Chain A
Amino acid sequence: MDKALGQALLLTMIFLPLLMAVVVIFIGSGNPGLVKRLSLGTTLVTFALAVILCISYKPASMDDKHITPGRPLATANDPFQPDSQFTIEETWLTFHPGGNTTGPVEIKFHLGVDGLSLWLMALTALLMIPSVLISWNTITDRPAGFYALLLTLETGMLGVFSSFDIILFYVFFEFTLLPLFFIIGIWGGPQKRYAARKFFIYTLTGSLLGLVALVGLILSRAGLDGGRITFNIIELVHNTAVNGSIPYGLQFWLFLGLFAGFAIKVPLFPFHTWLPLAHVEAPTAGSVLLAGVLLKLGTYGFLRLCLPLLPEATVMIGVPLVCSLAIIGIIYGAMCALAQDDIKKLVAYSSVSHLGFCMLGMFALNAEGITGSVLQMVNHGLSTGMLFLIVGMVYDRYHSRSLKEMGGLASKLKLIGFFMVFAVMSSAGLPGLNGFVGEFLCLAGIWTISPIYTMLAALGVLLGAWYLLTMLQKAFFGPLKEPGKPAEQEDDHGHAHDDGHGHAGSHAAHDDHGHGVIKDLDFREWMILAPLAFFCLWIGVYPKPFIDVMKPEATALGARYVEPLKALPMSSSILAPVRMPGGKR
């Protein structure tokens, strides 16, 4: 594809939603029909652009990079530096710091796409469509504001995945907080204000520490890189490989700073407390995007910044710390999910568990693990997105999410039941669906670090199947039990669950179904679930095209860790894992 055209494509894809958000605000809530159609149109166009982006993206060939001029072979273990495509690089502002640094320092407006970010961008664009559609009838309070915030959020999320300048990355990373704060806080459930604030402050605290660490990282590199300060991620990765990394003592603290920023977002085990609350209180679209995309900002941050820029710290403290927390998270999340009565909360805790697999795969620090991790990010977005959407649909019909009140819904809502089974299977990792491929790669990757990790994580897979199937069995199979039946009690019930103001719309939606007659999927809901199910199936059956794109970058990143991992003192890990045959222990 032509260079200028590629740049225009990327820019349009990222900033069209923001532009349309402004338009939507000016149309105002007086014309909800137009607002909704315009928002849907925008997300469809953005998704179409994402599809074009995916088709015209050429996976980096490992051989090409060797001989590309101006991109010398970095080290023996580091065959090439990942480069971005569709790159836009404009100077944003320039410093002349003087002192012992050379040359001006530039913060750039640097966007691009590479193998690690392509599928996450596509996922973001895809999940926006169901997010708009699911809100179609439920959001009646100030719809213009709601859709404008959703579209703004899309720009923020796409921006994070396509930033190749550290400051720009951080700007987008923080920027996603604002729309989601309002989405949860205005249109959320009964505890929305508390949930929104907790989410905001928790994430902000982490990311401010992350910012200090980023600043420290960049300025401490100046001495190693001949006094040149750069914010360009690709250049920093290259310099780290060629000129060596900063002293371990400093890396240790910088890693902890970045860890604070990203681990809260993921969320890793002790930092996850904001998540169930935010997920449960958010409107369905908010939950879908929060689980589907925003949690990935944390994992993506680790992948993009920690792994390539702080190699020693990643091996020395990253592996034991993150892997242990990830495993605790996998098991703890699953246990919590098992204990939930509220389906939405159950799905929220399942996120804690599933993201553990992502982190575990990533910190296997080899090609399989990293590939699996990125794939698992996409998979989790698809399957958890579907779960949240179906929970939202059930809630729209019955105004309840309590497992105790439901039973045998599949006999009445056959299609919803079908999709629920599908989503559960995908999430639980049934072979033939997407979850299996991702989890398998992650577990295969971590095996080389420690088989004990693999076994513990596999236990998590088992627990995952347990809580998901229990939920399925309670709510969708067995004798029919519908919440709020008989019909006289229905209204009271609806009120009991409707303390918040944001749900005025759900009543209206409920009434549309006509005097207590609960209908199965309508056309809109088909359009919400079918595309997601399609991609779940595709990745499950034929994942090669998805894996091929990210393989070069994952291989490059993994290759860098071959040597450092040999020196890993295994006893430093909390779980004291055993080395593979031939290892030191």
Chain B
Amino acid sequence: MDTNYLASLASSVTLVAPEAIVILAACVYFLVAPFFKSEYFWSRFSLILLLLSVFLLTPAPPEIAGNGLFRSDSLSIFIRWIGFLSGGALVMLSMGRVSDRYAGEYYASLLITVAGTNLVACSNDLITLFLSLELISIPTYLLLYLLRASERCREATTKYFLLSIFSSALLLYGMSFFFGSTGTTNFEGMRQTLRSVSPSQYPEVLTLGLIFVMAGLGFRLTAAPFHFYAPDVYEGAPVLPVTLLSIIPKIAGLAAVYQLIHATLLIDHGTAESPIAEQARDLFWIMALVSMVLGNVLGLLQNNIRRLMAYSGVAHAGYMLFGLGAAAATPGGLSGDGMSGLTAVFFYLIIYTIMTLGVFAVLRYLENSHHPCESIDDLAGLGQTNPALAFFMAVFLFSLTGLPPTAGFWGKLYLFLAGWNSDVHHYRVLAIVMAITAAIGAWYYLRVIGVMYLRQSVKPLHPRMQPAAFLVIAACGVLTLISFVVPNWFMNPARDATRPAATARR
């Protein structure tokens, strides 16, 4: 084998050392777990491993480092922080909830999922990007199945498995068009090829590639019309994997969209606008519109809190797509802060992760093996039976609604600013649609709050104290409130994360 290639592979791997360590550790888990069944040990060890990996992350390099299979830049550091920390939160939520019998396998799968998410952001090649996405999907099937092998769970797993495979195939097919038109799988190489031709001479199959890639990634983002699996899977699967499903694929999907489309396809050709940019923003526009409307309207009909959260996820995917599209529509949309689409989306990603994690953490805290917390009515009277939990839940839901004084308000405001700041008229229209659909969505979040505070408890849930899970809830709640007061804490990293896209585009 070419020594040069090996050397570049070796240097690439050093760029993703923390993830490599995590994956290696997970492999060891799989080997040792059958002989050492201790949930206590595996959970603590995973938590330490993930937190240590955060420290291994180098500070964001000013320029892009590495140009082989992986690279390291401010975006990848940004996503890896989110990935590791939410992974740590997921481990803390799982503590004490996983049977000793398969604890090792459970935590190993969780670790690989987290590593896969991070690797998506580090990928600099179609091959590594696809493999990283599969690193998320395959352990997820396992996680869905491990915890509760009931009839409904089996159905949910099968559904997810089949559709996930299908979406991967679509993605791979779309990527093949990218490869076919540019002759390389390396992102930098693709950019160079595109830069060398004038926009009018772009291969037309790129459009097909764009559509298929967005179809494949739309599945991860739960963007309509690729959201059909979400409500059923969220309802049928156990709450822990659902928590994972509601955040991890969104982070990875967003990073992948950014990598493939914003940082690669949307090359800035000066005055001439590439047709692909126009097509991309129209595609984003349609998907955003459909997701916002479907997510918020169908959410109104739900009585199951998990189905409700699934539709909420669809709606929020719509908001993120709105920002992604606005980024494609604005001349300076990839750089700059608050008023540019990408920064708004990355900011939204942080707060979406925090509030969704918070909501599911509360659900997970409340349920026990005899009494799953499923219908909205299960939360009745929570304001009296468990004021602290109800308070945090209300904070998360108000934040999802986008009300001050929560971080969700800034998220919505930045998206509005980005949408209006785009030069394209129909993105301004979409901003209005977003306002209206957000108000429709407010109704179902408010319904949950109303049930918690305005109704008496039917059959009160008396969860026992679980310090680790409560810590996650409290941390999410406090962050949601604090980042309203000091939005710059999240704003600055989100702005820095858009820097490589702006550089790569030139």
Contacts and interface: CB of A to CB of B under 8 A. Distances in A.
Interface of A: 92-99, 105, 142, 167, 170-172, 174-175, 177-178, 181-182, 185-186, 192-193, 196-197, 200-201, 204-205, 208-209, 211-212, 215-216, 219, 257, 501
Contacts of B99: none
A546 B331 CA distance: 52
Contacts of B487: 92-93
Interface string B284-318: 00000000000000000000000000000000000
B332 A97 contact: yes
Interface in B87-120: none
Contact of B443 (A142, A182, A197): A197
A197 B332 contact: no
Given A98-B336, A197-B446, 19 more contacts: A93-B487, A93-B491, A95-B336, A97-B421, A99-B421, A105-B339, A142-B384, A171-B405, A174-B403, A175-B403, A193-B454, A201-B442, A204-B401, A208-B436, A208-B439, A209-B439, A211-B435, A212-B431, A216-B428
B421 A219 contact: yes
A212 B413 CA distance: 9
Contacts of A95: 336-339
Contacts of B401: 204
Contacts of A99: 330-332, 336, 421
A548 to B, nearest CB: 35
B228 interface: no
Given A97-B336, A186-B453, A501-B456, A212 B421 contact: no
Contacts of B402: 208
A211 B416 contact: yes
Nearest to B337: A95
A105 B340 CA distance: 13
A182 B384 CA distance: 13
Contact of A219 (B420, B438, B446): B420
A196 B335 CA distance: 42
B30 interface: no
A167 B453 CA distance: 29
A215 B417 contact: yes
A219 B332 contact: no
B450 interface: yes
Given A98-B335, A201-B442, A193 B450 contact: yes
Contacts of A96: 336-337
A397 B340 CA distance: 60
A178 B421 contact: no
A240 B455 CA distance: 49
Interface string B379-403: 0000010000000000000100111
Given A105-B339, A197-B446, A205 B439 contact: yes
Contact of B432 (A171, A172, A197, A212): A212
A570 to B, nearest CB: 31
B442 A204 contact: yes
B457 to A, nearest CB: 12
| Closest A-B pairs by Cβ, 4 of them | A205-B439, A97-B339, A208-B435, A99-B332
Interface string B334-348: 011111100000000
B409 interface: yes
Interface of B: 330-332, 335-340, 384, 398, 401-405, 409, 412-413, 416-417, 420-421, 428, 431-432, 434-436, 438-439, 442-443, 446-447, 450, 453-456, 487-488, 491
B416 A215 contact: yes
B450 A197 contact: yes
**Residue of B332, B339, B442 with highest tally of chain A CB at under 10 A:** B339
A170 B417 CA distance: 14
A92 to B, nearest CB: 8
A185 B454 contact: yes
Contacts of B442: 200-201, 204-205
A197 B454 CA distance: 11
B337 A97 contact: yes
22 contacts: A95-B336, A98-B336, A99-B421, A174-B403, A178-B403, A186-B454, A193-B450, A197-B446, A197-B447, A200-B442, A201-B443, A204-B401, A204-B439, A205-B442, A208-B435, A208-B439, A212-B416, A212-B432, A212-B434, A216-B420, A219-B421, A257-B432
Residue picked from A93, A167, A186, A257, most chain B C-beta under 10 Å:
A93
Given A197-B450, A201-B442, A215 B420 contact: yes
A197 B450 CA distance: 8
A180 B184 CA distance: 60
A97 B340 contact: yes
A103 to B, nearest CB: 13
Contacts of B455: 193
B450 A196 contact: yes
A257 B432 CA distance: 9
A211 B413 contact: yes
Nearest to B343: A95
A54 B346 CA distance: 46
Given A105-B339, A208-B436, A171 B456 contact: no
Nearest to B339: A97
Contacts of B409: 171, 174
A260 to B, nearest CB: 9
B335 to A, nearest CB: 6
Given A215-B420, A216-B428, A200 B332 contact: no
A105 B336 CA distance: 11
Contacts of A201: 439, 442-443, 446
B495 to A, nearest CB: 8
A485 B445 CA distance: 45
A261 B399 CA distance: 20
A103 B427 CA distance: 24
A174 B454 contact: no
Contact of B453 (A105, A182, A204, A257): A182
Contacts of A105: 338-339
B488 to A, nearest CB: 5
A14 to B, nearest CB: 14
Contacts of A216: 420, 428, 431
Contacts of B339: 95, 97, 105, 219
A138 B503 CA distance: 65
Contacts of A208: 402, 435-436, 438-439
Contacts of A197: 443, 446-447, 450
Nearest to B410: A93
Contacts of B337: 95-97
Contacts of A186: 453-454
Nearest to B384: A142
B492 to A, nearest CB: 10
A564 B323 CA distance: 39
Nearest to B336: A98
A200 B398 CA distance: 12
A209 B432 contact: yes
A505 B72 CA distance: 64
Contacts of B456: 501
